[in-house]
Amino acid sequence: MSRTIVIGEALDALCTWAAVDTVAQAVEAIAARGRFTWVLSGGSTPRPLFEKIAREAQFRDAVDWGRVHVFWSDERHVAPDHPDSNYGMARGAMLGALRLPEANIHRMRGEMADAEAAAQAYDDELARFFALPPDQMPAFDLALLGMGADGHTASLFPGSPALAETRRRVVATWSESAKAHRITLTFPALNAATRVVVLVAGADKAVTVQRVLEGPPVPDELPSQRISSTGSVVWALDREAAARLRQ
């Protein structure tokens, strides 16, 4: 695995870099394999990236979106039209404007009454799409992730039993801060992606960024230290999030 750190002066500059990188990865994957598989992150940080790709012609018009398949790193245990839905955010910010075929939008069914059943349903979806035998991980082209101030990524929280998962691709987890269930890809599934981009912005993340990237390994306390890839990992930070790094 190779790890790169990219620093943008502000969030808009960081999102421009991420949009350029995403389009380049998509064009390359479509040319090589006829499709691009992209894992989307929830939260507030990726929204301006999604809006930029949908709004600016240099990004919107550069990709054959009919050959792009989108997946999610995690989802809240809510309906797709709920304000907290990661799918709903991506739909409003980007997917509606890009007009991906509905068959190319592989959302987690957060509205299912049982979070464990929703996780299994998504695992089954991945198995069908990628033609996977049990225990084999999907080969996503690009996984976009974020990081919380507590060091979590996707819905993989400090101290969660999900951090020790080695076989399953998708699990149900519990968010103590939200007092709610989540559905999330596991680290084996996320780290099987060819490229992982971790988009982090804000001064409130600076201490955690420094601990994750330069501190001693404590992956149960700082789950984002577990982020890896079969290919490359890029930590894309704005200047505030990178403020405490030594380099």
Domain borders along the chain are: 2-179+200-215
**Residue position matching structure tokens 């990236």:** 49
Ranges of the chain whose pLDDT falls below 70:
1, 247
- 85-115 pLDDT, tens digit each: 999 999 999 999 998 999 999 999 999 999 9
11-17 long-range contacts (CB < 8 A, ≥24 apart) are 11/45, 11/48, 11/201, 11/238, 12/48, 13/238, 14/199, 14/201, 14/236, 14/237, 14/238, 15/48, 15/49, 15/52, 15/199, 16/52, 17/236
Decide if domain 2-179+200-215 falls under CATH 3.40.50.1360: yes
Task: Please tell me the predicted confidence (pLDDT) of residue 247.
Answer: 66
Task: Please tell me the predicted confidence (pLDDT) of residue 1.
Answer: 65
How many percent of the chain have pLDDT more than 70?
Answer: 99
The CA-atom distances, in angstroms, between 189 and each of 67, 149, 169, 202 are: 22, 23, 5, 27
Distance between start and end Cα atoms, the chain: 20
Task: Please tell me the predicted confidence (pLDDT) of residue 13.
Answer: 94
Residue 197's SS3 state is strand
